[in-house]
Amino acid sequence: MEGFDPKGAVKVLGEYEDQAPEVLGIPTSTGLDGLFYRLVRDGEGWRREPLNGIPFRSVINLTGEPDTGKSVLVEQFAAYQAGRGYKVCFVTVEAPAQFLFGAVRSKAEVLGLSFDDVQENLVVVDAAGNPAIRENLYNFLETLKYAVEKFGTKSTVIDSVTGLYEHREIMARQVVRAVFNELKKLGQTAILVSQKRSAQSSESAEAAGGLAVAHIVDGTIVMGKVLITNRWEAQLYGTPIGSVVRTIRIDGCRMVPHDPRTWVFRIDERGLIELTEPLEDLILRAQAKEVRRSAGGG
């Protein structure tokens, strides 16, 4: 292309030192915070040091089937960060913004946070109620940039990025790439909620639009649930028929190491997410209980 100068795109690695983000965690107030870690030198060896949050300035994809707890998690994250004095941009693409008020107020109260602080620090972009924003990528990016720069937000939640390309999944890669690049330029730590189609595996990182989201972002967290419907499943998980086992797993993260195991979590009576134990521990305990029962030991 005439006039193109490649020089600005070519540098030695050391020139990026001042631009590299710190390796630190942005707390979510869920058990996820302990699953990301960094390696620090300990004598002649190395040891894990928990990051205590999702990686700073990362863009994370949070995917799962309907009603797995995705919105609950990002609302908890947003309320916790805002309540601690950090500005958060919450882009609601599916549910009208007024419905976010009650959910976040409830989270703030049970987390013991000042709702006055949360209200002051949580900036809401209502893309759900504004088709001109939701259905036009340029308008969306301009609105996002305006909100972040005007209020000086540090973190951004988009619930959901799938809503920006529903009925036109062929555009998924283009949309997600543009949103990802903008969030990086704005220096945000971000969580993008993405929806799964009914035919997609609940355990995979794939979502509506294929693997476009997972390929582009810095990491993917997969949420799932198992409805216990028969005796075999009840014995495997050690839970009664009709109950639900909820799972969460970090599928990958290019910025820092992470615990690769699938974890069991629950949404407690306060509406908060709490990781309880690795799935393998739950199953091993259920198997041991079944062995004791079969042996007549209870």
Q: Give the HSE-up count for residue 124: Cα atoms under 13 Å, Cβ half-sphere.
A: 20
Residues in a beta bridge with 277: 264
What pLDDT is stored for residue 163 in this prediction? Answer: 93
What pLDDT is stored for residue 207 in this prediction? Answer: 56
Given a contact cutoff of 8 angstroms between Cβ atoms, the answer to whether 181 and 190 are in contact is: no
CA angle 54–74–266, rounded 5-degree value: 90
Pairing of strands 45-50, 219-227: unpaired
What pLDDT is stored for residue 199 in this prediction? Answer: 47
**Number of folded domains that form the chain:** 1
In a domain, 69, yes or no: yes
In a domain, 4, yes or no: no
Residues in contact with 92: Cβ distance below 8 Å, sequence separation at least 6, in sequence order: 100, 124, 125, 126, 127, 128, 159
Q: Could you report how far apart the first and last alpha carbons of the chain are, in Å?
A: 77
219-256 tens-digit pLDDT: 999 999 999 999 999 999 999 999 999 999 999 999 99
In a domain, 255, yes or no: no
Measured between alpha carbons, how far is 52 from 25 in angstroms, rounded to an integer? 5
Alpha-carbon radius of gyration of the chain: 21
In a domain, 234, yes or no: no
Number of other residues whose CB lies within 10 A of the CB of residue 97: 16
Question: 278 burial class (0-12, 13-18, 19+ CB within 10 angstroms)?
Answer: middle
In a domain, 257, yes or no: no
**Domain assignment of residue 162, given as a range:** 22-222
What pLDDT is stored for residue 212 in this prediction? Answer: 73
Per-residue model confidence as pLDDT tens for the chain (298 residues): 678 889 888 999 999 999 898 999 999 999 999 999 999 998 888 999 999 999 999 999 999 999 999 999 999 999 999 999 999 999 999 999 999 999 999 999 999 999 999 999 999 999 999 999 999 999 999 999 999 999 999 999 999 999 999 888 888 999 999 999 999 999 999 999 998 655 445 565 555 556 778 899 999 999 999 999 999 999 999 999 999 999 999 999 999 999 999 999 999 999 999 999 999 999 999 999 888 877 875 5
What pLDDT is stored for residue 289 in this prediction? Answer: 86
Question: In what helix (H) or strand (E) does residue 122 lie, and over which residues does it extend?
Answer: strand 122-126
What pLDDT is stored for residue 211 in this prediction? Answer: 73
In a domain, 3, yes or no: no
Measured between alpha carbons, how far is 263 from 133 in angstroms, rounded to an integer? 36
Number of other residues whose CB lies within 10 A of the CB of residue 146: 11
What pLDDT is stored for residue 204 in this prediction? Answer: 54
In a domain, 264, yes or no: no
In a domain, 211, yes or no: yes
What pLDDT is stored for residue 2 in this prediction? Answer: 72
- CATH number for the domain harbouring residue 55: 3.40.50.300
